Amino acid sequence: MRRLKYVGWVIVLVLAACNSQAVVLTPPSYSGTPQEICQQAVPEATQNHSTFDSPQPVLEEGRDYRAILCTEYGAVYVDLFEDAVPDVVNNFAFLALSSFYNGTVFYRAIPNYRVEGGSPDGTPQGGPGYNLPLHVAGFLAFDRPGQLGMISTNPNDPLGEGSSGSRFFITTKPAPQINYTRTLFGEVLDGLEVVEQIKQSDILQAVVLIDDPARVVFDEEPPILPTMADVADALSAESLSATLERFGYIPPTVPPLTIVENISGVFDTAEVLATAPESAQAGYTAFLERYGHQYRVSAALENQTCDLSGITFMELRYSLDAFASREQATAALMDGFLTDLAQARGFAIAEEEDDANLSQPVYTQSTRACDTNAVHGITYWQRGRFIVTAEVISQTGSGNNIQTPAFWLRGIVQFVFENALSDVLRAELR
């Protein structure tokens, strides 16, 4: 959890709503316990069930976002995962700030499973005038109660059409059957007992967006951040083997994936520096010192048999570089040096690469693997104090199973390794 001092900022948004006049919005500045904030917000709550072409950008970099859902049974205080699924959290924040959720109903309540809300007309079809793509993170699973997710627009084919623009649900028990088929974008910090009381047609009185958790009086235990040993254990051969056994995205027809020993393990800063080309050594030294680099943990899996009939990748690589703080990791990712480093290694920004849902460009270079032409793809993303370096070596050419590096990076690389890192990366969210 990031503790940021509230400085009284005001965002003014002009929303061009369909068939309505522009509305000027300002975020609330309530403070107190979640219930006290609801007592302030509900009498002032207005309703705006207009439709929009798309959500407007409302999130500010570096802020820790929460929300309070006000119901007749009490307040539900939720943490929003803006770092993991920023587009979806931005959408929820935009609708909350526009008063879209105020006065809507929970149109479905399924005992021992979940409650559903966010529809302006109280039906399972209502929305803000647009839908969202499916956004999932490999380390986020519906493995506990109190998870905040987006409703699928096509439950029979959840990967086909994506997510509703506004309809959401809160689970009341673990729901592993929907892992990675629904967008998970938050979790209940306080008020799960309130969620369990909600019945069909109950009113969602207001949704209050919180941009600074310091204004909310809440007895919250600070998260225990993972140690280097925790990360190493999660990316060990034993952990990855167990993950592959239970991982539904890789069918049984895929040939065995084995650990690449010489590039897997724990590395100190000096060892990380040695991996850079000589031309980048000076810049890399300054970069690692500037942002407080601590260590790297890496793991790699290879298609040892080179059987490319079921899959067309030869090797998957994943590294976590730990920095001094979340803020330092953010600054390091935005620094621009990682682009220089990729180029020094012989990579170039991929042309016409499908990099949707990736926060940074995909860089590629041609190579050979398994006695065939291949492409080596690389990209970066942030997970709390960590910067991820994700890599894939995959077959080039044409065919039903041949995919772009971005496909493997945001899909298999992310899900295999981050599923194993679930507990580690979850702790970094707060």
* pLDDT at residue 381 is higher than 60: yes
User: How far apart, in whole angstroms, are the C-alpha atoms of residue 9 and residue 211?
Assistant: 10
Domain final residue pick, 183, 215, 247: 215
- Residue 206: strand pairing partners: 70
> What's the pLDDT score for residue 357?
67
Q: Is residue 1 included in any domain, yes or no?
A: no
Region of poorest pLDDT, from 7-21, 212-226, 248-262, 393-407: 7-21
What is the tens place of the pLDDT at every residue in 55-77?
999 998 878 999 999 999 999 99
Domain final residue pick, 167, 187, 215: 215
342 and 250 in a common domain: yes
Q: Is residue 26 included in any domain, yes or no?
A: yes
Which residue carries 């609801």 as its tokens?
A: 38
189 and 144 in a common domain: yes
Which residue did the predictor score with more confidence, 397 or 328? 328
Q: Is residue 4 included in any domain, yes or no?
A: no
Cβ-contact 4, 326 below 8 angstroms: no
210 and 247 in a common domain: no
Q: What is the mean pLDDT of residues 290-319?
A: 92
Domain final residue pick, 182, 215, 248: 215
Q: Which of 275, 274, 270 has the alpha carbon at shortest distance from 293? A: 270
Q: Is residue 40 included in any domain, yes or no?
A: yes
pLDDT band per the 50, 70, 90 thresholds, residue 14: very low
Region of poorest pLDDT, from 112-126, 257-271, 379-393: 257-271
> What's the pLDDT score for residue 310?
75
* pLDDT at residue 428 is higher than 70: yes
Show Cβ contacts of residue 397 under 8 Å, excluding neighbours closer than 6 positions: 373
> What's the pLDDT score for residue 136?
86
202 and 283 in a common domain: no
Cβ-contact 317, 414 below 8 angstroms: no
Cβ-contact 399, 423 below 8 angstroms: no
* pLDDT at residue 128 is higher than 60: yes
273 and 162 in a common domain: no
Region of poorest pLDDT, from 9-13, 65-69, 78-82, 85-89: 9-13
Q: Is residue 107 included in any domain, yes or no?
A: yes
Cβ-contact 175, 181 below 8 angstroms: no
Q: Is residue 35 included in any domain, yes or no?
A: yes
386 and 282 in a common domain: yes
Specify the long-range contacts of residues 260-265, CB closer than 8 Å, at least 24 apart: 260/300, 260/301, 260/302, 260/315, 260/317, 263/298, 263/300, 263/317, 264/235, 264/237, 264/298, 264/299, 264/300, 265/232, 265/297, 265/298
- For residue 186, what are its two tokens? 């938050």
393 and 266 in a common domain: yes
What is the tens place of the pLDDT at every residue in 219-252?
988 888 999 999 999 999 889 888 877 765 455 5
Number of Cβ atoms within 10 Å of the Cβ of 251: 9
Show Cβ contacts of residue 164 under 8 Å, excluding neighbours closer than 6 positions: 118, 127, 131, 132, 150, 151, 152, 153
Q: Which of 397, 353, 352 has the alpha carbon at shortest distance from 372? A: 397
Which residue did the predictor score with more confidence, 411 or 276? 276
What is the tens place of the pLDDT at every residue in 305-320?
898 887 889 999 999 9
Region of poorest pLDDT, from 260-269, 357-366, 397-406: 397-406
> What's the pLDDT score for residue 141?
92
Looking at residue 200, the DSSP 8-state letter turns out to be T
> What's the pLDDT score for residue 12?
34
Percent of the chain at pLDDT above 70?
88
- For residue 26, what are its two tokens? 């300002």
196 and 247 in a common domain: no
247 and 198 in a common domain: no
Please give the radius of gyration of the chain, using alpha carbons only, rounded to the nearest integer.
Answer: 23
Q: Is residue 401 included in any domain, yes or no?
A: yes
CATH of the domain at 360: 3.40.1000
* pLDDT at residue 126 is higher than 80: yes
Q: Is residue 125 included in any domain, yes or no?
A: yes
293 and 418 in a common domain: yes
Number of domains in the chain: 2
pLDDT band per the 50, 70, 90 thresholds, residue 400: low
235 and 208 in a common domain: no
274 and 175 in a common domain: no
Region of poorest pLDDT, from 142-156, 176-190, 366-380: 142-156
The secondary structure element, H or E, covering residue 79 is strand 74-80
User: How far apart, in whole angstroms, are the C-alpha atoms of residue 407 and residue 255?
Assistant: 19
CATH of the domain at 62: 2.40.100.10
Q: Which domain holds residue 234?
A: 228-428
pLDDT band per the 50, 70, 90 thresholds, residue 17: very low
Region of poorest pLDDT, from 18-22, 175-179, 352-356: 18-22
Region of poorest pLDDT, from 45-59, 158-172, 243-257, 356-370: 243-257
In single-letter form, the type of residue at position 31 comes to S
